[in-house]
């Protein structure tokens, strides 16, 4: 009897506490859960970035503020060429990915959902395979004794092996391959939400299929084009592995220049200055992305 009463009291007590917590609402104080992540990110992400910023503005000998590394950046044609080259590379890769990705996303959005879902797995497989493995595959395919050259020589089409990698051709192929899934995902997530009846009604009003596509579907898919292109372009700007493996000496990207100054030349201040410029550019594009399209769109989410 006594033990039952005790148990009953305990249950009542527990229920009371539960009700009190309920009154304060299941969300009160939840904001505190952000603290661990924020502390972690401030220590291991923001603080290092700020340190990098400081380093690029400080003379290591006198510890005084200086702009010498940025002056050096502007006065080093090799570095400026690398910046221009990387922007050109990122632009071309983005356009090629758009041209290849748009029809695929268009077709996927027209197919029944189940089929589209299955085909999407084929798009996602490269996405989940490591960049290193994929760059290596292209080395196997495009190399001097690679698959393409073996086939072309075997068929007697060329007598000398073609130079397909260690040049910008190889870099473009490898980078488009890695970034294309992002483009397709971004385009598809917008296209599958487009109301197809709009296209049909345009056609029933006398538009040819091409006119209906150009005047109705294409404008409605513009947000997908914008988000896909920005996403691919931003990532392409920071590429390191693929250009380092598949490119030649003239295909150096900004990331490779940073690596060169940090790890080989051991001029950390100058490396930090280059990294900071890349960071500012990327961050500006990130803000534009957020402003126009919203972060929810990231990764087709």
Partner 1 sequence: MSSLSRKRWLRNRVQVRHILLYLFCILVFAFLLAPILVIIPMSFSSADFLQFPPPSFSLRWYENFFSRQDWLSATMLSLRVAIATSLLSTVLGIMAALALARTSFIGKDLIYAFIVSPMIVPAIIIAVAVLFVYARLRLVGSFLGLVLAHSVLALPYVVINVTASLRTFDIDLEKAAMSLGANRFQAFTKITLPLIRPGVFAGALFAFVISWDELVVALFVSGTKAITLPRRMWISLRQDIDPTIASIATLLVVFASVVLLVVELLRRRTNT
> Looking only at residues 20 through 39 of this chain, which bind partner 1 when binding is defined by CB under 8 A?
21-22, 26-27, 30-34, 36-38
Judged by CB under 8 A, does residue 286 bind partner 1? yes
Q: Which letter does DSSP use for residue 29 in this model? A: T
Stretch binding partner 1 (CB under 8 A), from 47-55, 64-72, 75-83, 155-163: 47-55
Query: What's the maximum distance between 2 C-alpha atoms anywhere in the chain?
Result: 99
Interface with partner 1 (CB under 8 A), residue from 59, 67, 81, 103: 103
Distance in angstroms (rounded) separating the CA atoms of residues 301 and 288:
18
Helices (H), the chain: 2-23, 34-41, 47-57, 68-74, 77-110, 113-128, 131-142, 147-154, 168-191, 196-204, 209-212, 218-220, 222-237, 241-246, 254-259, 268-293
Considering beta carbons, is residue 76 or 153 the nearer one to partner 1? 153
Considering beta carbons, is residue 217 or 239 the nearer one to partner 1? 239
Q: Contact, 230 vs 287, CB < 8 A?
A: no
Interface with partner 1 (CB under 8 A), residue from 6, 7, 8, 47: 47
Phi/psi-derived region of residue 206, left when phi > 0, alpha when psi is between -120 and 50, beta in every other case: left
Distance in angstroms (rounded) separating the CA atoms of residues 82 and 72:
14
Site for partner 1 in 119-158 (CB under 8 A): 119, 121-126, 128-141, 143, 145-147, 150-151
Q: In angstroms, give the least distance from the CB of 127 to partner 1.
A: 8
Q: In angstroms, give the least distance from the CB of 149 to partner 1.
A: 9
Residue 212's φ and ψ, nearest 5 degrees, are -60, -40
Site for partner 1 in 183-242 (CB under 8 A): 208-209, 234-235, 237-241
Q: In angstroms, give the least distance from the CB of 34 to partner 1.
A: 4
Stretch binding partner 1 (CB under 8 A), from 68-76, 163-171, 219-227, 279-287: 279-287
Q: What is the 3-state secondary structure (H, E, C) of 145-195?
A: CCHHHHHHHHCCCCCCCCCCCCCHHHHHHHHHHHHHHHHHHHHHHHHCCCC
Considering beta carbons, is residue 14 or 88 the nearer one to partner 1? 14
Judged by CB under 8 A, does residue 70 bind partner 1? no
Site for partner 1 in 231-270 (CB under 8 A): 234-235, 237-241, 245, 255, 258-259, 262-263, 268
């Amino acid at each position: 009897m006594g033990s039952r009463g005790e148990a009953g009291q305990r249950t009542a007590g527990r229920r009371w506490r539960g009700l009190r917590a309920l009154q304060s609402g299941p969300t009160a104080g939840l904001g505190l859960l952000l603290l661990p992540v924020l502390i972690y990110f401030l220590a291991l992400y923001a603080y290092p970035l700020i340190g990098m910023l400081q380093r690029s503005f400080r003379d290591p000998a006198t510890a005084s503020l200086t702009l010498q590394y940025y002056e050096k950046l502007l006065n080093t044609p090799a570095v400026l060429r690398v910046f221009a080259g990387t922007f050109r590379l990122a632009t071309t890769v983005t356009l090629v990915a758009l041209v290849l990705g748009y029809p695929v996303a268009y077709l996927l959005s027209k197919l029944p959902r189940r089929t589209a879902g299955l085909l999407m797995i084929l798009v996602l497989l490269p996405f989940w395979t490591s960049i290193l493995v994929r760059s290596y595959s292209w080395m196997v395919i495009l190399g001097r004794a690679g698959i393409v050259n073996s086939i072309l020589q075997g068929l007697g089409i060329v007598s000398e092996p073609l130079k397909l990698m260690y040049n910008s051709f190889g870099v473009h192929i490898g980078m488009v391959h890695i970034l294309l899934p992002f483009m397709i995902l971004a385009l598809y997530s917008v296209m599958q939400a487009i109301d197809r009846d709009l296209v049909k009604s345009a056609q029933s009003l006398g538009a040819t299929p091409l006119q209906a596509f150009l005047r109705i579907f294409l404008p409605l898919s513009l947000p997908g084009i914008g988000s896909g292109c920005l996403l691919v372009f931003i990532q392409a700007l920071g590429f390191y592995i693929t250009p380092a493996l598949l490119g030649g000496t003239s295909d150096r990207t900004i990331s490779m220049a940073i690596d060169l100054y940090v790890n080989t030349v051991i001029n950390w201040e100058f490396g930090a200055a280059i990294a900071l410029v890349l960071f500012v550019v990327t961050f500006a594009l990130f803000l534009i992305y957020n402003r126009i399209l919203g972060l929810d769109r990231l990764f087709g989410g």
